[in-house]
Structure 1
Amino acid sequence: MLEAADRLLRANPAATLEEIAQESGASRATIYRRFPTRNDLLIALSRWAVGRIVTALEGAQIGAAPAEDALFRATRNVIEVKVGLEFARTLAPADDPIVSELQTRMRDLATALLTECQTTGIINSDADLDWALTVFYALVHEAAMNGTTSDETTADQMATRVVDTLLHGLGTPTSAD
């Protein structure tokens, strides 16, 4: 039902619960039993979306794989998830304790990843990790948004661009005198 809701709400943000039930193949009674109000559905969509991102980060084997490999996998995994979220990725995070817990877990995983990258020397030891995290989130978000408009670019290619930009920037290396 959440996948159907995500698809339908992307095409028609004003879609009713009845329309979502029809799109998902569920009965009207079933959707109202699971989501008595539209707000309940939006909270469920937030939980689902953030939960999928947490699962994607966990699948990167942060701490178990070499840092650069984990960075690439985390980036690719999250891009793939976000591209698949039609409507939910545009939602403001729900004011919900489960969403808050998931967001904390997401931030902890991403921070652990960048800390490991810094510890292993992939990211400069004096880099501001809060800023690096902000940049990482922004790059992944833009890559996912681009991925929805370009069928020619794969998640691996977008992840490579994100990781390269995060680690090396866009400037020209300066030569030593």
Structure 2
Amino acid sequence: MAVAGQQEENAPEPTGRRVRADARANEDRLLTAAALAFARDGAAATLKQIAKDAGVGIGTLYRRFPTREQLVDATYRYETARLAARAADLIGGLPADRALRTWMSEVLDYLAAKHGMADTLKTLLREDERLGSLTRERLTGAVEEFRLAGTAQKVIREDVPAADILTALAGVTLTAGEPHQRARAERLLDLLMDGLTRSDR
């Protein structure tokens, strides 16, 4: 992003800036389509279908992501950043406890895409240890936003740190993280929220 920003600052022609904006829009569409395809089709998701779903040619996909591994890496980072950024949006429109509960359901959707990329993602995480820790940092930060808003609104307990909330959420996804277990996962999330909600509200 920093490099792209530098190029945009130095570009003398508006046309160049528009080209980069178009490229960014194409990338966003590709990554969104990839996440949906991996969640829907798992490892069977094809690059050709992803390009079609994104409304671009397969050549556009290969120019930006020459290998499947690069697409998986970018999709994982994109979806993690998107999920973390959702905290502020949800808190802005809902009471903090309801916002957190909504976000927890979105985590299940995020994991569906992650499962579809599992084989390639395991290799990427082995090769780049920082990738896993960055994910934990971002998601813990998002939970902390919900926790702080919830304690200020007196709807979430003050004595449970964000890391513990994320660990409990991970426990739910480990025991009921498959698509066919979605109803059970939602029930477990309700139980988790019951434990986080202040009894005196």
Same fold (TM over 0.5): yes
Q: Which of the two has greater helix per residue?
A: 2
Instruction: Tell me: CA distance 1:79–1:17, structure 2 relative to 1, closer, same or farther (3 Å).
Output: same
Q: What pairs with 1:1-177 in structure 2 (closer than 5 Å)?
A: 1-10=30-39, 11-61=41-91, 69-80=95-106, 82-83=108-109, 86-88=112-114, 91=118, 92=121, 94=125, 95=128, 101=134, 103-114=136-147, 122-123=156-157, 125=159, 130-139=163-172, 141=173, 145=177, 148-149=179-180, 160-167=190-197
**Identity over aligned residues, as a percent?**
22
Report what 1:174 is aligned to: none
Q: Specify the SS of the correspondent of 1:36.
A: coil
Equivalent residues of 2:31, 2:75 under 8 A apart: yes
Per-residue deviation, 1:31: 0.7
Instruction: Tell me: CA distance 1:35–1:48, structure 2 relative to 1, closer, same or farther (3 Å).
Output: same
Q: State the distance in 2 between where 1:70 and 1:143 align.
A: 26
Q: Deviations over 1:117-159 (max 9, x none)?
A: 568584364x5664343113434x479847x548989x8x886
Q: State the distance in 2 between where 1:45 and 1:117 align.
A: 30
The one-letter code matched in structure 2 to 1:5 is A
Q: State the distance in 1 between where 2:144 and 2:101 align.
A: 13
Equivalent residues of 1:83, 1:145 under 8 A apart: no
Equivalent residues of 1:8, 1:15 under 8 A apart: yes
Root-mean-square deviation (Å): 4.2
Report what 1:171 is aligned to: none
Number of equivalences:
159
Q: Runs of 5+ in structure 2 lacking a partner?
A: 1-29
The one-letter code matched in structure 1 to 2:137 is T
Q: Runs of 5+ in structure 1 lacking a partner?
A: 169-177
Equivalent residues of 2:104, 2:189 under 8 A apart: no
